[in-house]
Structure 1
Amino acid sequence: WVYLSTLIKILIFFLMVSCCICFQPSFLDFLHRVLISNLQTEIEKQIGYRSSRKRRSEFQYDYEVYHPLEEIRSWMFEMNRTHPHLVDLFSIGQSYEGRPLYVLQLGKRTRPFKKAVWIDCGVHAREWIGPAFCQWFVKEALNSYQHDSSMRRLMNQLNFYIMPVFNVDGYHYSWKTDRFWRKTRSKIPKYHCRGVDANRNWKVKWCDEGASLHPCDDTYCGPFPESEPEVKAVAKFLRKHRKRVKAYISIHAYAQMLLYPYSYKYATIPNFNCVESAAQNAVSALYSAYGVRYRYGPASTTLYVSSGSSIDWAYKNGIPYAFAFELRDTGYYGFLLPETLIHPTCTETMRAVKTIASGLLKKCTK
């Protein structure tokens, strides 16, 4: 009887498993699920074959496709040429491979010492939606200046420093060679690996938790703080203008989050209430566009602990509002966010950034 009972249990178990496999295909999803069936095809949709993609003239610049570095640079010069009363173009230095690090200054020349907002995009090369947003922001700010009273007020009372591509060498490399490249392109002595994570290279708890000392890792912190000329150039500019720059915003992807300090430790920043309120308002404004939900909070607890980050550095150097956006999506497309999603992603992010900027015109007393 004992043997018969055991045999019956075994038969019932195998029958249940067979039923799950035969009649419930979703059972196999626990093992794996294919998100993108042909990765190369998705990459080619974005990189082009650009010769077969419909090209537009400079006067019909397409903000709903991804652009290589050369086209973004030409676009920056065009913005400077066609909007001389609102735009200044300048370089803050050179990259490791000798490319200029261009920044656009947006704002009405009303007085010399206005408050300022810094926005950088493309710190990590493969996050192409970042540079797309920076271009979108400039386009929207300039085109709506005359008819949008809220944007006109921001442009009159604030200056915006926009760096569309922070990691110019890495971004160029992601177009030409490796679509998923993340780091800069500096050479590391005695190693065949190249590049440093530009968001682990800042002089704040450098190369502590969440960063790597190994040059071949994606989170390599570099041989020393500000070893990367790109990081050093931005840090130098922000130190020079720290009395006027009141908000630092860095655009990344992906995760749908709005993060603020600290990244390197589990601790509450002194002006937590003001920053938390600004983040909440920004996420609410973003949600109002298409109903997309963003999480928000300190980077260490909302995402993960990381040392040597730009938002921690900005905050430690006197910029009271330091934010990092992680734009769409949450992992289905990841770094290969389709061009069809550029418009909604940038539209909703524009609302969030405008909300943060508008908050600077009000005094937070919390």
Structure 2
Amino acid sequence: MHMNYRLVPNTSRGLLPYLQQANIQYTILISDLQEAVENQTGLRSHRNRRSLPEYNYEVYHSLEEIQDWMYHLNKTHSDLVHMFSVGKSYEGRPLFVLKLGKRSRPYKKAVWIDCGIHAREWIGPAFCQWFVKEALQTYQTDPAMRKMLTQLYFYVMPVFNVDGYHFSWTYDRFWRKTRSKNTRFRCHGVDANRNWKVKWCDEGASFHPCDDTYCGPFPESEPEVKAVAHFLRKHRKQIKAYLSFHAYAQMLLYPYSYKYATIPNFSCVESAAYNAVNALQSAYGIRYRYGPASSTLYVSSGSSMDWAYKNGIPYAFAFELRDTGHFGFLLPETLIKPTCTETMLAVKNITLHLLKKCH
């Protein structure tokens, strides 16, 4: 089992001799994390990241930039894009979703895609933006994309945890949770992927408000989770696939997360995952592991993927994007393009599988 840890300055002096004594093998992945953070965010001021006709999809964008980009697409691509809000965050920010697709018939099945449930996983929102860009740019030229957008709607939420994402840009690059306040403890935030009403706060979640996997005071306590759950419940008959994008581990996961058990439609989901992982690998040779989240990654309760599946969405997947720990959450901007390109192949593969068979 590989574990990655982030150490407070000067603690490594005491820890390394202890690891050696205990005969625990270790590798130092990033020796100066502060420097790595500054390198990634220091370039921001010199670059034209904002002007929308030349929006750069190969850099990370702040929440404000992403929201401006959404407004812009809503205005300029009104034939294929409809922007709406499912609610407000704890700090009062709108929770925007882009509905993508040709208004070709009154009723169409749909795919839900969300990114950025965990604030520090910046490659997630980068992929959601990439997906939208690819859909709009290749709609005319790629028959597969045309088929996808004609036969389905895609609900794309580029930043689920808007408050946390903003906080990870302004104060703490490694922030994970939401930003709700806890009255008894001085700690902020709930893990938005432990706050769903499915085996809530069981194994793999914490009751302590200061922990990174804090499940919250009750299920759907976080306005962000409540808003998305409400939207998905309302559209549960329409939505056939739920895709959530995380980082990092290079895995494609499906239910269950909260227990070691086989889902009823295992063969359909498993073959979709197998084909998606092969499609992804065809781009750069990156091998993703795939399987039930509990046995492939770890057991966790109250996750959005399990909740979506339990609420009647037959295909529920969580992607853990690049890498496997060398850069971790600080995936360099030079790797945005290859990561998104290969992930795009997997998503298209799952979508076309959905249109072909197995419901």
Return 5+ residue gaps in structure 2 as ranges.
1-22
Hey, what does 2:117 align to over in structure 1? 123
Contact persistence 2:50–2:65 (CA under 8 A): no
Contact persistence 1:247–1:320 (CA under 8 A): yes
SS in structure 2 of the partner of residue 270 of structure 1:
coil
SS in structure 1 of the partner of residue 182 of structure 2:
coil
Mapping for residues 84-233 of structure 1, pairs under 5 Å: 84-233=78-227
Return 5+ residue gaps in structure 1 as ranges.
1-28
**One-letter code aligned to 1:336:** L
SS in structure 1 of the partner of residue 111 of structure 2:
strand
What is the deviation of 1:45? 2.8
Hey, what does 1:288 align to over in structure 2? 282
Contact persistence 2:93–2:163 (CA under 8 A): yes
Moved more, 53-62 or 98-107: 53-62
What is the deviation of 1:57? 1.7
Hey, what does 1:33 align to over in structure 2? 27
What is the deviation of 1:41? 2.6
Hey, what does 1:7 align to over in structure 2? none
Hey, what does 2:238 align to over in structure 1? 244
SS in structure 2 of the partner of residue 249 of structure 1:
strand
Contact persistence 2:248–2:320 (CA under 8 A): yes
Hey, what does 1:15 align to over in structure 2? none
- Give the Cα separation in 2 of the matches to 1:166 and 1:112: 28
- Give the Cα separation in 2 of the matches to 1:142 and 1:179: 31
What is the deviation of 1:263? 0.4
1:207-231 deviations in whole A, cap 9, x for unaligned? 0001000000000000000000000
- Give the Cα separation in 2 of the matches to 1:86 and 1:280: 30
SS in structure 1 of the partner of residue 313 of structure 2:
coil
Hey, what does 2:11 align to over in structure 1? none
User: What TM-score results when the alignment is normalised by the length of structure 1?
Assistant: 0.90
What is the deviation of 1:137? 0.1
Contact persistence 1:46–1:66 (CA under 8 A): no
Contact persistence 2:84–2:97 (CA under 8 A): yes
Contact persistence 1:247–1:319 (CA under 8 A): yes
1:336-357 deviations in whole A, cap 9, x for unaligned? 0000000000000000001111
What is the deviation of 1:49? 4.8
Hey, what does 1:354 align to over in structure 2? 348
- Give the Cα separation in 1 of the matches to 2:308 and 2:56: 33
- Give the Cα separation in 2 of the matches to 1:168 and 1:55: 19
1:169-212 deviations in whole A, cap 9, x for unaligned? 00000000000000000001211001000000000000000100
* Shift in CA distance, 56/172, structure 1 to aligned 2, threshold 3 Å: closer
Hey, what does 1:26 align to over in structure 2? none
- Give the Cα separation in 1 of the matches to 2:26 and 2:231: 47
Larger Rg: 1
What is the deviation of 1:42? 1.9
* Shift in CA distance, 357/216, structure 1 to aligned 2, threshold 3 Å: same
User: Which of 49, 57, 64 does residue 51 from structure 2 map onto?
Assistant: 57
Alignment of 1:263 onto 2:280: no
- Give the Cα separation in 2 of the matches to 1:30 and 1:364: 46
Hey, what does 2:13 align to over in structure 1? none
* Shift in CA distance, 56/264, structure 1 to aligned 2, threshold 3 Å: closer
1:242-291 deviations in whole A, cap 9, x for unaligned? 00100000000000000000000010000000000000010010000100
- Give the Cα separation in 2 of the matches to 1:82 and 1:320: 34
The number of residues matched between the two structures is: 337
Structure 1 runs of 4+ with >4 Å offset = 29-32
Contact persistence 2:29–2:325 (CA under 8 A): no
